[in-house]
Amino acid sequence: MTVELNPKFKGRDFLAIRDYTSEEVMEILELAQKLKKMQKEGIPHPLLAGKTLGMIFQKPSTRTRVSFEVGIYQLGGYGLFLSPNDLQMGRGETIKDTALTLSRYLDGIMIRTFAQEEVEELAYWASIPVINGLTDLLHPCQIMGDILTILEKKGTLKGLKCAFIGDGNNVCHSLLVGGAKVGMNVVVACPPGFAPKHEIMAQALKDAEETGAKLWVVEDPAEAVDGADVIYTDVWASMGQEKEAHEKEKHFARYQVNASLLGKAKPDVIVMHCLPAKRGREITDEVMDGPNSVVFDEAENRLHAQKAIMALVMQ
């Protein structure tokens, strides 16, 4: 089995799914499927032999760190973990100077941080590809792994109904855009005041015009999951919002993904969670550990989707 990398991806940043066409998103997913098959069959695929990835973590992580570090290793490269204590950025060096310096040493940068503007500024000054590992606004790598999982489990994407239950957060934002790119219908169920950002919804709706996807927001979670092929949830208070968690629980109590809500969807619905989960809050043990859950398949697919992204942009 051989892999050919489309040269049009070379050197590009991966900051948001909106920056890629529907065809390009599908090409990334196809490569991810191929790389996953090769990894499972023990076929070496050192597409990035000798290349280095700097991994900047302003926010802690389990899945992002391990999947990127293992992924670059399986591609034949080396991953360098960089915490705030490891960089002069933590002591006042500008993002510009950091980007210009790291570009002299590395072949790519993955950054997991708070502000989307930081990622965009880093990418502006860097002469090497920058990959968005998470910001408060977007989580594009997560959603690429999620869409890969849905494609594996359902065999198709176009026309499926995905119900996101919870806060209109970074995961929700990228899911709306990702769904629009692949023709998947996405409905968000959230309390008043917690809807996805208007500008993200507007961008997603624009993309949906090309693929025929339908995107909408409701308040009633039961209405959202009616006829759903996929139910997706996330923590009610994202990282950095811990002080708001108690107050948010009052608004989100009826948005728990439990057996009762699951019963209102299709019998073969799959349940997803980007993790880490607050078991017993946004999702029950019964559902997360139940037969409809694909949560840990989804977590694994972060590895394969990100390998495809790295291979293409860092080639």
Q: Which residues are annotated as a binding site for L-ornithine?
A: 170, 234, 238-239
Active site residue 220: no
Contact call for residues 83 and 60 (beta carbons, < 8 A): no
State which amino acid sits at residue 75.
Answer: L
Question: Of these residues, 12, 18, 45, 139, which one is catalytic?
Answer: 139
In the set 13, 274, 304, 306, the catalytic residue is 274
Residue 301 corresponds to which tokens in the numbers above?
A: 């697919």
Q: What is the DSSP string of 211-226?
A: HT--EEEES-HHHHHT
Q: How far apart are the first and last CA of the chain?
A: 18
From the list 12, 273, 302, 304, the catalytic residue is 302
- Residue ranges for the known binding site for carbamoyl phosphate are 61-64, 88, 112, 139-142, 274-275, 302
Q: Choosing from 58, 74, 116, 142, which is the catalytic residue?
A: 142
Q: What is the DSSP string of 198-254?
A: HHHHHHHHHHHHHHT--EEEES-HHHHHTT-SEEEE--SS-TT-GGGHHHHHHHHGG
SS3 call for 268: coil
Establish whether 74 is a catalytic residue: no
Three-state secondary structure call for residue 270 = strand
302 is catalytic: yes
Among residues 107, 146, 229, 234, which one is catalytic?
234
DSSP state, residue 18: G
Separation between Cα atoms, residue 9 and residue 48, nearest integer Å: 14
116 catalytic, yes or no?
no
**Which one from 18, 45, 112, 173 is the annotated catalytic residue?**
112
274 is catalytic: yes
Rounded CA separation 261/253 (Å) = 13
Burial of 24 (0-12, 13-18, 19+ CB in 10 A): middle
Residue 13 among the catalytic residues: no
Binding site: which residues? 61-64, 88, 112, 139-142, 170, 234, 238-239, 274-275, 302
Report the catalytic residues. Answer: 112, 139, 142, 234, 274, 302
